[in-house]
Amino acid sequence: MKYLDEFSDPVLARRLFAEIQRITTQKWAVMEVCGGQTHAIIRNGIDQLLPNEVELIHGPGCPVCVTPLGMIDKALEIASQADVIFCSFGDMLRVPGSARDLFGVKSRGGDVRVVYSPLDAVALAEANPHKQVVFFAIGFETTAPANAMAVYLAKERGLKNFTVLVSHVLVPPAIEAIVRSPTSRVDGFLAAGHVCSVMGTWQYGPLVAKYRVPIVVTGFEPLDVLQGIRQVVIQLENGRAELENAYERVVSERGNQPAQAMVSKVFDVCDRQWRGIGEISGSGWCLSDDYREFDAEARFDVVHVDAPESDICRSGEVLQGLIKPNECAAFGQQCSPRTPLGATMVSSEGACAAYYQYRRLSGTPVGV
Amino acid sequence: MGTSPPDFSGWTCPIPLRDYDRIVLGHGGGGQLSAELVEHMFIRAFGSGEELRDSAVLAPPPGRLAFSTDSYVVRPLFFPGGSIGDLAVNGTVNDLAMSGAQPLGLSCGFILEEGLEMAVLGRVVDEMAEAARMAGTTVVTGDTKVVNKGAADQLFINTAGIGLVPEGIDVRPDRATPGDILIISGDIGVHGIAVLSQREGIEFGTGVESDSASLNGLVAEMLRVCPDIHVLRDPTRGGVAASLCEIASAARVGISYTDSLLPVPGEVAAACSFLGLDPMTIANEGKLIAIVPPQAAEEVLAVMRAHPDGTGAVVIGSITENHPGVVVAKTAFGATRVVDLPLGEVLPRIC
């Protein structure tokens, strides 16, 4: 594929690996923030080919994985109601709540549908005036503009049967929470390129200045990821802490202004729970007062629904690279890819799930 | 009245089938409407070698029999490169072929939703007949039921097939042996992407067409040059990843393949990339995986490439005694990745 294959070229990759090897003189822990980057790393085995000194810590940037249990239970309760068409992005369907998942609701007669765009959910609401259509608005800054647009259009068109269950999360507060943690081991960050394509890079300058931590805006193709790692390591080795953009073909400093305008019209910043991490202040978006009528939590009276996170799951510590997955007592026992307790086991690329798979490869019994 | 009495011998109802442009419940009731549907729809397409009776009677030559059944509920019914009709024939013919068998005959059960357009059924039946002809077999027995509107989604088809396994052929998953060579017969992921591209709510423009095809001709050629083929598998639901995981588990062997050797067409790679899917887990309907002894690999590959259904055949990996039960991909950069059995339905990723 033109413009994609070029960014997976093994020859260029070997050069980048060799250069990272050459410039690395000591141990560094680099966190890739976004789940898409983790995907590229695991899929291509990038982590196996880096020098031993460079450790990648998979960050909290998978929106499906960090959606809290309580929010999933709200979704399940709404989706179970008669006369509701519940619309979701595909991979949310198998994320377990405290008792079951959306597939389970569907099998009991719930009308659960996978959509690619929130605008499809708006169209469903228009086509089904006697049904309540609910869209599960999850994701980072990347999915927010389209989700905001859906709500905006629903208001423009006077739709009374469309609501959104909002669980939006924001990257900069999450980075700040990690870097402020007294136990944090992260020396530098690869910021999420797609998030920055929407929001620009300007949000990250203050973080770099305040915490003296290198942040490199990084893309998702294998060479993008390697280039991001290279730039972080160069900064660390030279004692620099700067904001750099290694994804200039997509990301500008100011980002996508119309998208930002749409988001700020529909959403306000709020506190948000993250699965396996806990509450992070100012780390989410919720509907602004002007659009409160589209809030599914209120319409379906599920505000009170909550579910305690597992008290044995240590995914928060795994996320920060403080422990290895197998140091958690639940690993491979109560917690496995089929029965995940925390964010890092929910995604097939989460640190715990990846660790679980490689245990199979090395022949080591899982859970030992 | 002065004229001779009417002669009713040989009389059939003058109301032709086409007067019903949709399926009504009576078409499954076992009466005249059912009989007309059989006569004008099914026998027209599938033929009838003998008088209608309750079962087909086959006279198999010596050898072992293979027997397989599969149900088809694909949506939409028609998609680029195929339909539920040719899938229903090819799928079952291929299931037989993966045991090294050539089909002796197929059965076909229809579950029709009341209100189904007769023209739609006609097209499906014609495509089944054509697929059977291509595979060198026939539909020898069948059944039709009609259910109330809403109780089925247009039409469902079940086919079963009986096939003959020639003497000396023993193809099964647990024969995969360390050292064996892993071959795939051509481009992967095209069927699943062709169907997805037409699915409500996801439609996207692509030139990808389903690879739906019967593979018994290709298999016959392969077995001709290498009767000792160890494993054949058509990687349908779950894609190549699921098939390889099942083989590794059944034979307690490791399977290792190389990402860069996988034949993934550009349009499939592009669609998978923007949908967040993995081509290895996408369904195929006209491809096979072959696991063959190393000394036979070259010859098998040559006859595959010479056959219209195997022109894109390539070696993608091998069987190993390392990591028994586990499938491992070698990445383009030289690292490794564990390939897992997809949990259930393939779902698009958001991130």
CATH number of the domain enclosing A139? 3.40.50.11740
Q: What is the ipTM of this complex?
A: 0.82
Residue A65: pLDDT above 60? yes
A130 in the same domain as A30: no
CA pair distance A305, A120, nearest whole angstrom: 27
Query: Other CB atoms closer than 10 Å to residue A307's CB: what's the count?
Result: 16
Write the class of the CATH domain B21-165.
Answer: alpha beta
- Beta bridge partners of residue A135, listed in sequence order: A87, A164
In this structure, the answer to whether residues A49 and A81 fall within a common structural domain is no
Q: Are residues A70 and A124 in the same domain?
A: yes
Shortest Cα distance from B181 to chain A (angstroms)?
20
Site of tokens 């549908």: A113
Mean pLDDT of chain B: 90
B254 within 8 A of B205, measured Cβ to Cβ:
no
**Which residue intervals of A200-270 are DSSP H helices?**
205-211, 222-237, 257-266
- Interchain CB contact of A4 with B (< 8 Å): yes
Q: Is residue A138's pLDDT more than 70? A: yes
Between β-strands A243-245 and A215-218, what pairing exists: parallel, antiparallel or unpaired?
Answer: parallel
Q: Is A307 domain-assigned?
A: no
* Burial letters A13-34, b for 16+ CB under 10 A, else e: beebbeebeeebeeebbbbbbb
The upper half-sphere exposure of residue A17, i.e. CA atoms within 13 Å in the direction of its Cβ, equals: 21
What CATH superfamily is the domain B173-339?
Answer: PurM-like C-terminal domain (3.90.650.10)
Q: What's the sign of the alpha-carbon dihedral A196, A204, A249, A348? A: negative
Residue A357 lies in a domain: yes
Percent share of chain A, pLDDT over 90: 67
* Same-domain pairing of A27 and A154: no
Could you tell me the mean pLDDT of each successive run of 10 residues in chain B, 351 residues long? 56 57 86 85 79 77 93 92 95 98 96 94 95 96 94 96 95 97 97 84 76 97 98 95 96 96 93 86 96 98 98 98 95 91 65 52
Percent of chain B with pLDDT over 90: 69
A134 near A296, Cβ under 8 Å?
A: yes
In chain B, the residue whose alpha carbon lies closest to the alpha carbon of A33 is B351
Chain centroid to Cα A49, Å, comes to 25
Does the residue A103 lie in any domain? yes
Give the pLDDT confidence score for residue A366 in this predicted structure.
44
Size of interface A-B (CB pairs under 8 A): 103
Q: Model's pTM, two decimal places?
A: 0.87
For residue A68, give the DSSP letter.
-
First to last CA, chain A: 43
Q: Do the domain assignments include residue A70?
A: yes
Same fold, B21-165 and B173-339: no
The verdict on A86 and A133 lying in the same domain is yes
Residue A334, Cα to own-chain centre: how many angstroms? 24
Pick the residue of A33, A38, A89, A106 with the most B CBs within 10 A to test the interface with B by mutation: A89
For A296-353, how does the pLDDT look when each residue is reduced to its tens digit (9 = 90+)?
A: 999 999 988 888 888 888 888 888 778 888 899 999 899 988 888 887 888 776 788 8
What crossing angle do the helices spanning B84-97 and B118-135 adopt, rounded to 10°?
30
Contact B201 A113 (CB under 8 A): yes
Whether residue A246 lies inside any domain: the answer is no
Q: Measured at the alpha carbon of residue B49, what is the angle toward residues B48 and B50, in degrees to the nearest 5?
A: 95
First to last CA, chain B: 86
**Nearest CA-CA distance, residue B128 and chain A, Å:** 31
Q: A139: which 2 tokens? A: 């994701």
Apex CA B167: angle with CA B165 and CA B172, to 5°?
Answer: 55
Which chain B residues contact residue A366 at CB under 8 A?
none
Distance separating alpha carbons of residues B282 and B288, to the nearest angstrom: 14
Mean pLDDT of chain A: 91
Parse chain B into domains and list their residue ranges: 21-165, 173-339
The whole-angstrom separation of Cα A258 and Cα A145 is 9
Tell me if residue B295 falls in helix, strand or coil: helix
Q: Which domain holds residue A185?
A: 5-62+171-237
Alpha carbon of residue A184 to chain centroid: 19
Chain A: closest CA distance from residue B159 (Å)? 26
DSSP summary character for residue B22: B
Residues of A in contact with B337 (CB under 8 A): 42-45
**Distance (Å, rounded) from C-alpha A233 to C-alpha A237?**
6
Residue B1: what pLDDT?
Answer: 45
Tens of pLDDT, residues B273-309: 878 788 999 999 999 999 999 999 999 999 999 999 9
Question: Of the candidates B115, B108, B102, B105, which has an alpha carbon nearest to the alpha carbon of residue B71?
Answer: B108
Q: What is the total count of domains within chain A?
A: 3
Q: What is the dihedral of CA A198, A199, A204, A205, to 10 degrees?
A: 110
Which tokens hold the place of A62? Answer: 């998978």
Q: Is residue A250 in a domain?
A: no
For residue A234, the tally of other CB atoms under 10 A from its CB is 17
Same-domain pairing of A85 and A166: yes
Residue B103, amino acid: P
* Best B255, B261, B338, B351 residue to mutate vs chain A (most A CBs within 10 Å): B351
- Closest Cα to residue B127, out of B194, B157, B82? B82
Q: Kindly list the distances between the CA atom of residue A59 and the CA atoms of A188, A193, A266, in Å, as whole numbers in the listed order.
A: 12, 14, 28
Contact B349 A360 (CB under 8 A): no
- Output the six-digit token pair for A217: 């805006």
- SS3 string, B110-123, reads EEEECCCEHHHHHH
Give the list of residues 6+ apart from residue B135 with CB closer than 8 angstroms, or none: B89, B90, B93, B103, B214, B216, B217
Give A333-346 pLDDT, tens digit per residue: 999 888 888 878 88
CA distances from B31 to A215, B26, B37, B42, B55 (A): 76, 7, 10, 16, 18
Look up residue B309 and give its amino acid.
D
Q: Which pair of tokens denotes residue B51? A: 């008088």
> Alpha-carbon distance B338 to B326, whole Å?
7
Q: Let me know: does A348 contact A64? Beta carbons within 8 Å.
A: no
Q: A92 in contact with B at a CB cutoff of 8 Å?
A: yes
